[in-house]
Structure 1
Amino acid sequence: MINRILPKRFSLLKTFAFIYLTFAFIVRLCLYFYAFNHIDFSFINLIKILGIGLFFDIGSLAYFLALYAFYLLLIPVKFHGSKLDKIITKFSFGLFVFIITFSFLAEIPFWLEYQRRFNFIAVDYLLYTYEVVENIHQSFPLPLVISFIVLVLILSIKFAKKRDAYKNTFENSDSFKAKIIPFTILLLTVILFHINIKNVQAENFTNVNENELAKSGIYSFFAAYKSNELNFKDFYVTISPNENYSILRNSIKAENDSLLNFGKNIKRYTKNIGIEQKPNVIFIGLESLNARFMERFGSEDNWTPALDSLAKKSIFFTNLYATGTRTIRGMEAISLAIPPTPGRSIVKRENNDNLFTIGEVFKQKGYSRTFIYGGDGHFDNMTNYFSYNGFDIVDRKKSHRLAEKLPTKRNRIEDNEVTFENAWAACDGDVYNKLIKTVDEQYKSKQPFFNFVMTSSNHHPYSFPKGVIKSDEKTRENAVKYADKTFEQFFEKAKNKPWFKNTVFIVMADHCAYSAGRTEINVQNHHIPAYIFNLENETPKEIDKLSSQIDIFPTLFGYLNWNYNSTLFGKDISKMTPNDERAFIGNHRKVGLLKPNKLLILETQKQHTSYLWDKEKNELTTTKTDTIFLKETISYYQSAFELFKNGGLKNTEFNK
């Protein structure tokens, strides 16, 4: 049947399709093996995964085939087998085999890191070829990877020759009429998938790993590319504008807040009682640090003795959750004190300049503001975001990058200040040393300073300088231990500095490692450590109120007795009542509101799901939706989206 539909001219195309589907099947089985411990094995589900996967593989394959089929359709019979025809055909076959081999191989380490098929993270990484190529080079034996791809290419060519695919493609007299039928079928398949088949339609299981296994990596990549920014009103259930802001303003207003006006905004004045303190402030963002890595949260591995030790001397928030699973989500939450907007982080979006960030509150109090990062801050648009929102920049600007014209100062971490760096950044030890140099200079100016520092060593490929900890092996455990050790070394140096006594330190993770789980959102994998150290006149204590990354700086401002204007969504954790406790968690398309015993998730296609949450067992059980809880959840996310899109988070709003 296939041979009757596909004329000889399409022989190489048919061979490529066989290679593609075979490779896709093998990769899916490999990923199934890696995910086996995270799924509840069922033979029926396995068959469904393979069947749905084949369907989406055919859809992604159709895009490749249609492009080449269009060429085959247009070339007249007299040019079949011409020199130009052979060059184009052989080059296209080799290029396509190379592309699919590389993409299929790339899916394996991507799965090991994120337990997902290609998604928006892969789309973002595509824009940063230097970091990605270096990461691959430092994580895997690149010569072996290239050799394998070349081997697959050679075997594919030999396979095609053995099937006489080249001969049949070049030596035939198939007419336009014979070629139009297979081309039309391919074109209709592409149109069907492009218009009607959505990637989420592969999600037919309760287990997130099984949903991901049923997808095609390449198809998922392009689906993520198209949906990197989601219009909340198009994809999510909404409520009327008046009801939305009425609920929101009531939800975020604290007893010491005064709403500045009514309408579609959250502008308010926060008043704290007591003499205002203006210590220097250093925020240290810990890369990928789960709360459960710490002894305080049950770990018996002793990975973080320094972090645990300092936490005992601090205001320690033991029930705080990250909003997302990536660094730029953490930066968004911390700097804007806003729930995560679905799709791309605001850090990477257009029109994200001149926003009301926490930096504006520091500006009201006369502080300098600096963002410090050990990598090239162009990655994930961090440099532009912080600079165009008033922060000076200290980063590892690569010499080969074109110089950006930024509105604030930019100070490079020089080569002679770096003892070790990997694909992403200079090691944490070098970043802390640069921080100390920077603070020494800032201290001379007599102006209070706020520094936002982002670490990176606890990130794949988990590489770090030799000799700092006992083992140099590149593992997550050792990366955490190295990060903890350099954290300890930083404070040992800082305590001898004249600025230390008058400096408050905020320590918090940007997100967790191992963010995947059996369900789409694993609550435990958003639990992160956070504490405030060195506050004057405050005794160390633990605060177990359910809270979010967006609350940490409003809490600091409360401890410092600051009075200020803001558009921040966050609340002062120390002043929270039981009714105030909540956290925001999301993972690109799904966003949720977490309460002490329940969770509501908003999903695309205007769907939502309610759960009862057992914190001790980390179990979610579906339950009937509470309408009031649903509207509260919608109000947070709908208003966050609207305020950003409509300019309601801009500084200029306070002048109106």
Structure 2
Amino acid sequence: MLFQRSWLLVQRSFRIPPRYATLAWVAALFMAINTLVRVGLVAFENDLALWQPARLVPTLLVGVLYDAAALSGALLPFAVLSLVCPAGPIGRRVHAVLASALVAAGLAGLLFVAVCEGVFWNEFVSRFNFIAVDYLIYTREVLGNIRQSYPVGLLLAGIAGAAGPLYALVAVRVWRAAGAEAGRVTARLAASAAVLAATGLWTVAIGDGPREALGDALEGQLASNGYYEFVRALRNNDLDYRTFYRVMSDDRATAVLREARSGDAARAATPSATWKPGHIVLVTLESLGADMVESFGGKAGLTPNLDAMARSSLMFTNVYATGLRTVRGLEALTLSLPPTPGHAVPMRRRNKGLPTLGGALRDQGYEPLYIYGGYAYFDNMRDFFGGNGYTVIDRTAIPSGEIHHETVWGVADEDLFSQALREIDVRAASGTQVFAHVLTTSNHRPFTYPAGRIDITSGSGREGAVMYADWALGEFIREAARRPWFPDALFVIVADHTSNGRGRIDLPPANYRVPLVFYAPGRIAPGRIEATASLVDVPTTLLAQIGGASPEGFFGVDLRDRGRHHTRGFLANYLTVGYLEYGAVVELSPRRGTRVLDAVDGRPLPVTDARVGRLTEHAVASYQTAADLLKRARP
């Protein structure tokens, strides 16, 4: 009753044709459902601090702004329908039928998106972003993963079961509103034009300011909504660094980086090496954060094979992933580049002609292979690696009879490692030196693997997938040890990213830490290097280990020696890029935003802190230079 009275007041005040009450009902449903989604996500976070009025009320109020922005677009089809359906008894009935059907379909769509937001939030602790845009391209993997990971049938049945009764509550009122007087065509034209103008106004005016004013990354994501963020992602997949981010003069950037690298001799001279391996195997483990590996301070008992390897390896205990997706890890491990805003380089049109680890090792006499258990068109892997001189070997090369288990992402890790051994065996027998970059997939939803390998039931959760991935790695090393080429091989074991991006700030360092070991029994002495490092340092350290110089353009340092004198990490989370050093994180964001935060508690550092100016300069110089380098890449 209150809603109807409010609408009548608005309608009379602005002389809106009565049939436009349909739009008011749509607005009420849209705002109510999105508010419920927002409250539901707050509850899902299970953080009592988020319920404090001082935090919850601003989050909900800012949420109204973003919901209104999205609503203006959602109303457009109803405004067009109200405009084109003529007046008169027949026109009113046609409008009533079409508008009622559109409301019913829209309501089901709202509930469907609400469920999708919940699923996406569970994975990324974020509203829809350009990961969601990318996933629309790779429908096979994404839809397949959803089917394997979630009870899709029950979810769809739940949506239908909720949509029906909810629509029944408003069906009669919507029918009456849709069948009301159409008003003059000039009045309809004015009302529909106002909706169109509101859409354009909100699109231009809303921006990121309101949510950023909340001062907390999590609250900002809660205040937004999937509709707004998805459209934003479509418009901001790739950002020109110099246009949107803080910059400095080119001369100053060069001087800052020269100063930072002054102690690093990796580029100036060929490092000394006591041993050049016959073969190099870089194993990139999917989603294996240091929090899951006991030897790196993580949970006990999940990775006994990797822990045993670590004890006889050169361990790097403070290495940080550059992002939260595999493609970011591949970018860092292949190009030794900081994670510039937007897409990772493998996903970009200009992704060739850059110095790569594979290219540097080819110059050292190795054949570079990229071995992946899924289909390499995903994340543009085939184009990127194949276009940069690697031989790409993916799911299509693995015989069906050799597969014990597979998910939509790829074959089980044990089957991938078996294929890797076959590829290395053939080349080693002919005298070819091999560099094999192997990417696993089993530690990923739906967390399934062959039965009987470990004590945890397949599909029961991430800990089982971690334990299986470790079992497969152990079997791989044991099988490799039986090969004649093993004593002359170097194994580099590292993760692409972690499974946890949650934090009070955009870039919580603890959630980016990954394991890294150089394993070559009898060749590389065991030890621990605790310098802060990044995945971009892996290629340079690997090249230095075998006596090779890093190509011009690599940002990494040799962590075995020089890296101890300039220890830092590069981090990224979608559009925020960061620089970690001396216990502080510099966050660079669009509209030239800059924050310097304590790396542990997220507290902003005062401008009087000696670290602020220096670290900010290092961050800006690094990302500006990397972005400029990428502009010179070829498609």
Question: Shorter-chain TM-score: which interval?
Answer: over 0.9
C-alpha contact 2:70 2:228 (8 A) present in aligned 1: yes
Matches within 5 A, 1:413-562: 413-472=398-457, 473-534=459-520, 537-562=523-548
Provide the secondary structure at the position in 2 that maps to 1:566: coil
More deviation in 87-96 or 316-325? 87-96
Provide the secondary structure at the position in 2 that maps to 1:623: coil
Quote the residue 1:582 is aligned against.
Answer: 568
Question: Does residue 326 of the first structure (1) align with residue 292 of the second (2)?
Answer: no
Question: Does residue 110 of the first structure (1) align with residue 120 of the second (2)?
Answer: yes
Question: Does residue 201 of the first structure (1) align with residue 184 of the second (2)?
Answer: no
Please give the per-residue CA displacement for 1:167-220, whole angstroms capped at 9, x wherever unaligned. 442453422233234323322321121111113532333432222111112111
Quote the residue 1:351 is aligned against.
Answer: 350
CA 1:56–1:344: 2 relative to 1, 3 Å = same
Provide the secondary structure at the position in 1 that maps to 2:410: coil
Q: Which amino acid counterpart does residue 105 of structure 1 have in structure 2?
A: V
Provide the secondary structure at the position in 1 that maps to 2:588: strand
C-alpha contact 2:373 2:410 (8 A) present in aligned 1: yes
C-alpha contact 2:296 2:515 (8 A) present in aligned 1: no
Please give the per-residue CA displacement for 1:491-511, whole angstroms capped at 9, x wherever unaligned. 121111122112111000101
In structure 2, how many angstroms separate the alpha carbons of the residues matched to 1:113 and 1:330? 18
In the TM superposition, residue 156 of structure 1 has moved relative to its aligned partner by 4.5
In structure 1, how many angstroms separate the alpha carbons of the residues matched to 2:356 and 2:144? 33
Q: How large is the RMSD of aligned CA atoms in angstroms?
A: 2.3
Question: Does residue 239 of the first structure (1) align with residue 244 of the second (2)?
Answer: no
In the TM superposition, residue 486 of structure 1 has moved relative to its aligned partner by 1.1
In the TM superposition, residue 568 of structure 1 has moved relative to its aligned partner by 1.0
Provide the secondary structure at the position in 1 that maps to 2:444: coil
Q: Determine which of 159, 162, 178 is the counterpart of 1:169.
A: 178
CA 1:82–1:445: 2 relative to 1, 3 Å = farther
More deviation in 48-57 or 165-174? 165-174
Question: Does residue 183 of the first structure (1) align with residue 215 of the second (2)?
Answer: no
In structure 1, how many angstroms separate the alpha carbons of the residues matched to 2:477 and 2:277? 21
Provide the secondary structure at the position in 2 that maps to 1:600: strand
TM-score after normalising by structure 2: 0.92
CA 1:24–1:359: 2 relative to 1, 3 Å = same
CA 1:577–1:452: 2 relative to 1, 3 Å = closer
Matches within 5 A, 1:201-220: 201-220=210-229
In the TM superposition, residue 629 of structure 1 has moved relative to its aligned partner by 2.6
Provide the secondary structure at the position in 1 that maps to 2:295: helix
CA 1:192–1:537: 2 relative to 1, 3 Å = same
More deviation in 79-88 or 449-458? 79-88
In structure 2, how many angstroms separate the alpha carbons of the residues matched to 1:201 and 1:279? 57
Please give the per-residue CA displacement for 1:75-121, whole angstroms capped at 9, x wherever unaligned. 33258548875675455334433332211111112111211111121
C-alpha contact 1:287 1:509 (8 A) present in aligned 2: yes
Provide the secondary structure at the position in 2 that maps to 1:581: coil
More deviation in 71-80 or 386-395? 71-80
Q: Which amino acid counterpart does residue 450 of structure 2 have in structure 1?
A: P
C-alpha contact 1:79 1:85 (8 A) present in aligned 2: no
CA 1:197–1:622: 2 relative to 1, 3 Å = same
Q: Which amino acid counterpart does residue 610 of structure 1 have in structure 2?
A: V
Question: Does residue 372 of the first structure (1) align with residue 407 of the second (2)?
Answer: no
Unmatched segments (≥5 aa) in structure 1? 258-267, 398-411, 652-656
Question: Does residue 57 of the first structure (1) align with residue 67 of the second (2)?
Answer: yes
In structure 1, how many angstroms separate the alpha carbons of the residues matched to 2:483 and 2:93? 74
Please give the per-residue CA displacement for 1:131-152, whole angstroms capped at 9, x wherever unaligned. 1211121122121112122234
C-alpha contact 2:280 2:490 (8 A) present in aligned 1: yes
In the TM superposition, residue 275 of structure 1 has moved relative to its aligned partner by 6.2
Quote the residue 1:342 is aligned against.
Answer: 341
CA 1:93–1:493: 2 relative to 1, 3 Å = same
Please give the per-residue CA displacement for 1:267-318, whole angstroms capped at 9, x wherever unaligned. x554123566242011111111111212223335311111111011111001
In structure 1, how many angstroms separate the alpha carbons of the residues matched to 2:238 and 2:438? 27
Quote the residue 1:654 is aligned against.
Answer: none
CA 1:537–1:431: 2 relative to 1, 3 Å = closer
In the TM superposition, residue 31 of structure 1 has moved relative to its aligned partner by 0.4
Question: Does residue 133 of the first structure (1) align with residue 135 of the second (2)?
Answer: no
In structure 2, how many angstroms separate the alpha carbons of the residues matched to 1:162 and 1:574? 73
CA 1:132–1:610: 2 relative to 1, 3 Å = same
C-alpha contact 1:371 1:394 (8 A) present in aligned 2: yes
Provide the secondary structure at the position in 1 that maps to 2:368: strand
- Runs (4 or more) in structure 1 with deviation over 6 Å come to none
Question: Does residue 607 of the first structure (1) align with residue 593 of the second (2)?
Answer: yes
Quote the residue 2:7 is aligned against.
Answer: 2
Between Structure 1 and Structure 2, how many residues are aligned? 621
More deviation in 108-117 or 337-346? 108-117
CA 1:396–1:318: 2 relative to 1, 3 Å = same
In structure 2, how many angstroms separate the alpha carbons of the residues matched to 1:611 and 1:126? 35
Provide the secondary structure at the position in 2 that maps to 1:626: helix
Quote the residue 1:285 is aligned against.
Answer: 284
Provide the secondary structure at the position in 1 that maps to 2:133: helix
In the TM superposition, residue 476 of structure 1 has moved relative to its aligned partner by 1.3
In structure 2, how many angstroms separate the alpha carbons of the residues matched to 1:311 and 1:80? 78
Please give the per-residue CA displacement for 1:583-626, whole angstroms capped at 9, x wherever unaligned. 11121222122113322222221121123445xxx655523263
In the TM superposition, residue 536 of structure 1 has moved relative to its aligned partner by 5.6
In the TM superposition, residue 348 of structure 1 has moved relative to its aligned partner by 0.5
Quote the residue 1:402 is aligned against.
Answer: none
CA 1:296–1:621: 2 relative to 1, 3 Å = farther
C-alpha contact 1:521 1:587 (8 A) present in aligned 2: yes
Quote the residue 1:623 is aligned against.
Answer: 606
In structure 1, how many angstroms separate the alpha carbons of the residues matched to 2:598 and 2:97? 62
CA 1:145–1:487: 2 relative to 1, 3 Å = same
C-alpha contact 1:321 1:548 (8 A) present in aligned 2: yes
In the TM superposition, residue 471 of structure 1 has moved relative to its aligned partner by 2.0
Q: Which amino acid counterpart does residue 357 of structure 1 have in structure 2?
A: T
In structure 1, how many angstroms separate the alpha carbons of the residues matched to 2:90 and 2:179? 5
Q: Which amino acid counterpart does residue 131 of structure 1 have in structure 2?
A: E
CA 1:364–1:39: 2 relative to 1, 3 Å = farther
CA 1:390–1:95: 2 relative to 1, 3 Å = farther
Quote the residue 1:151 is aligned against.
Answer: 161
Question: Does residue 44 of the first structure (1) align with residue 54 of the second (2)?
Answer: yes
C-alpha contact 1:199 1:219 (8 A) present in aligned 2: no
Quote the residue 1:265 is aligned against.
Answer: none
Q: Determine which of 618, 629, 632 is the counterpart of 1:643.
A: 629
